[in-house]
Amino acid sequence: MPIKTLQIPTADGQADAFAAFPDHGERHPGVLMYADGFGIRPVLRELAHELAGHGYYVLVPNLFYRHGPAPVIELPEHIGEEARPAVFAQLMPLIEAHTTERVLSDADAYLRFLTTQPEVDAGPVAVTGYCIGGLLAMRTAAAHPGQVAAVAAFHGPVGADGPDLFSKLTAQVHLGHAEGDMTPEALGELNRALDAAGVTYTSEIYPGTIHGFTMADTDAFNTSGLKHHWDRLLPLLDRTLATS
């Protein structure tokens, strides 16, 4: 399964990225994957590699390329609770500088790049994201309704932009919430907003999980939560993208 290092032209320069895809000399449906706030690191390569093994070309950009190539900050091999304060002290200025305008400008560049790769099918694409990347995935899908057929977000602040964002979605949506992030009452309110916007979606709390449950290099990692994530993500992509 090849993993290719790439440079994506953007309005503000070049975003470093990587792509994972099957090595069959064929074209495959494209998936744009947004990392969590910790950015590109081995666990993201593992997630992309796993998804590529199911027949997809998976593009993972460095969200914070304006501040340098990934890894933009030095990360411990395991991001435990004791390391998080120092890591977040470095990350928060990068996250705060990543404005909605930058997100949407970059999304244009990422999708343009993804859809012109020789290994990628000409059909619609999907976007998925983790933590803050989940919100970026939703913004990208809302900004490209004719192009993005599916969007999935896991333990992300997907309601941060309010119901106006939902009204722009035409993609099928899956939202996988951490039990530690979302109360049943908040879930009901979110889902009613999705209903009112006419979104085709599933949105659920993953039992026994806390924020970051998909990330195997953190204390939040939950094996059953990660499996649940694959059990929801893969059928969504199968329904919406024509796999080779």
pLDDT, tens digit, for every residue of 186-199? 999 999 999 999 99
Q: What is the pLDDT of residue 51?
A: 98
pLDDT < 70: residue spans in the chain? 243-244
Using CA atoms, how far residue 106 sits from 51, 71, 99, 103, 243, in Å, is 22, 18, 11, 5, 26
Residue tagged 């792509």 (tokens): 19
Residue 173: name the closest of 209, 207, 198, 143 by CA. Answer: 198
Residue 240: name the closest of 191, 195, 190, 200 by CA. Answer: 200
pTM confidence score:
0.97
Compute the distance between CA of residue 208 and CA of residue 105 in angstroms, rounded to an integer: 36
Compute the distance between CA of residue 80 and CA of residue 77 in angstroms, rounded to an integer: 9
Cβ pair 68, 93 in contact under 8 A: no
Question: Domain 3-240: which CATH class?
Answer: alpha beta
Q: What is the pLDDT of residue 17?
A: 98
Compute the distance between CA of residue 18 and CA of residue 37 in angstroms, rounded to an integer: 17
Q: What is the pLDDT of residue 24?
A: 79
Residue 227: name the closest of 210, 213, 212 by CA. Answer: 213
Compute the distance between CA of residue 32 and CA of residue 72 in angstroms, rounded to an integer: 20
Across the chain, what does the average pLDDT equal?
A: 96
Q: What is the pLDDT of residue 244?
A: 40
DSSP H/E element including 134:
helix 132-143
